[in-house]
Amino acid sequence: MPSSLDRRSFVRASLVAGVAGAVGQAPAVRAAGVRPVVVASSNGNRHKNGGTQTTVALAFERIAKGEDVLDALIAGVNLCELDPADDSVGYGGLPNADGVVQLDASVMHGPRRRAGAVACLEGVRTPSLVAKAVMEQTDHHLLVGAGAQLFARQMGFAVEADLNTENSRKKWLDWKRRIDPEHYLDPAQREVAADAAREAMIAHGRLDPLHVYGTINCNGVSARGEVCGVTTTSGLAWKIPGRVGDSPILGAGLWVDGEVGAAGSTGRGEANLYNLSSHLIVENLRRGMSCLDAGMDALRRIRANTVEKRLRNAQGNPAFYVNFYVVDAKGGFAGVSMYGTYKGRKVEYALCTEHGPETRPVEALIPEHP
Ligand code: GLY
């Protein structure tokens, strides 16, 4: 709950200022009969960037006031992108194997049927806004690397030499010392060593087990049934430079169908690239599934397609976490995950309705990661 608003005034502000319709517009809640909702990964109800509101609270408030849904969601995730305390996204996101912060993001606007994305973008704290500029200022859906940075510069974004913070740089140094004591390992050993270094850092409390893949996804629906979504990330910690995850790939880390709903993800991006999970979930919604059933179906698909031994645990289940945040155009929602707990951490998601922001446990396919 925003500290400046108690629950009653939050509800009143939402209902009077927004859900009842912005000035000059018909009462929106009656127009489509939808109760607005915003869902996000759990960092969406944690970081405030020095302000009073979290991602889901800010996004919901703006949607309730009648602002464009995608603009509201992006304003929400900007809080996490800009907050150095969130080392999974934007400024201070955990860097790649060379110590360089490379960011991915995508946005989709349901009513306008438009989308934009950037991948491997360096130097811009808010990749979600660059993704929106790709959507609005170009005929394309995805710009990458140096081209994405040049485009951002041309669009007036500040381009910085380095997005590391002391936190992200120190964690990278810790990882580098563990993985590269002799400056060289062959590729097979390097993969094993990189995994071992990540695991050791988690075990030593140096790395949040749910931040290895970083990311915030945030999806929302307005009282008019307008659905949008955004996903933004610094990606897999210590990734090979140039690695692109699921976040900027439409259908993988984000999919929105303006008539149906939205789904996005955090966790192992490669699982979503292989299964186009977010698109699968929204197509499930189109076929009449609930948000919960649609998400669970994608988790089962991922489990079935995870056949490589290195990716399975002793029980034969995926050895990684992957979560989905789902809304439908009628205001239904769900937060689902492969595991209910992961390496001792409860897996949660963020939500905001007219009752205010909250953090809830996910619905899990498998109760506990062993
Ligand atoms: N899901 C974020 C990533 O894999 O990059």
Q: Give residue 1's pLDDT.
A: 37
Residue 31 clears pLDDT 90, i.e. is over it: no
34 lines ligand 1 (CB under 6 A): no
The residue behind tokens 């939050």 is 10
Please list, residue by residue across 80-111, b when 16 or more beta carbons sit within 10 angstroms of its beta carbon and e when fewer do: bbbbbebbbbbbbbbbbbebebbbbbbbbbbb
Strand 363-368, strand 333-342: pairing: parallel
Q: Which residues contact 254 (CB under 8 A, 6 or more apart)?
A: 106, 107, 108, 217, 229, 230, 231, 247, 262, 263, 264, 265, 278
Q: Give residue 184's pLDDT.
A: 40
Residue 367 clears pLDDT 50, i.e. is over it: yes
Q: Give residue 9's pLDDT.
A: 52
3-class secondary-structure state, position 189: helix
Confidence of residue 181 (pLDDT cuts 50, 70, 90): low
Residue 65 clears pLDDT 90, i.e. is over it: yes
To 10 degrees, the CA torsion angle through 264, 293, 309, 194? 30
Q: Give residue 310's pLDDT.
A: 85
pLDDT digits (tens, 9 = 90+) for 184-238: 445 555 566 777 788 888 888 878 777 777 789 999 999 999 999 999 999 998 8
| Residue numbers of the domain that contains 33 | 1-370
Confidence of residue 17 (pLDDT cuts 50, 70, 90): very low
3-class secondary-structure state, position 76: helix
Q: Please identify which of the residues 54, 126, 215, 306 carries the catalytic annotation.
A: 215
213 lines ligand 1 (CB under 6 A): yes
Q: How far is the C-alpha of 320 from the C-alpha of 306, rounded, in Å?
A: 10
Q: How far is the CA of 43 from the centre of ligand 1 (A)?
A: 15
What average pLDDT does the segment 179-185 reach?
56
Structural domain total, the chain: 1
Q: Give residue 182's pLDDT.
A: 52
pTM confidence score: 0.85
233 lines ligand 1 (CB under 6 A): yes
| CATH code for the domain of 30 | 3.60.20.30
Does the active-site annotation cover 55? no
Q: How far is the C-alpha of 166 from the C-alpha of 153, rounded, in Å?
A: 25
Q: How far is the C-alpha of 262 from the C-alpha of 160, rounded, in Å?
A: 32
Q: Give residue 25's pLDDT.
A: 37
- Contact predicate 127/268, CB 8 Å: no
Mean pLDDT of all residues belonging to the chain: 89
What average pLDDT does the segment 134-152 reach?
98
Q: How far is the CA of 23 from the centre of ligand 1 (A)?
A: 40
78 lines ligand 1 (CB under 6 A): no
246 lines ligand 1 (CB under 6 A): yes
Q: How far is the CA of 2 from the centre of ligand 1 (A)?
A: 29
What average pLDDT does the segment 111-132 reach?
98
Residue 53 clears pLDDT 80, i.e. is over it: yes
Residue 23 clears pLDDT 90, i.e. is over it: no
Q: What are all long-range contacts of 14-17, with beta carbons under 8 Å and residues at least 24 apart?
A: 14/60, 14/61, 14/64, 14/354, 15/64, 15/354, 17/64, 17/65
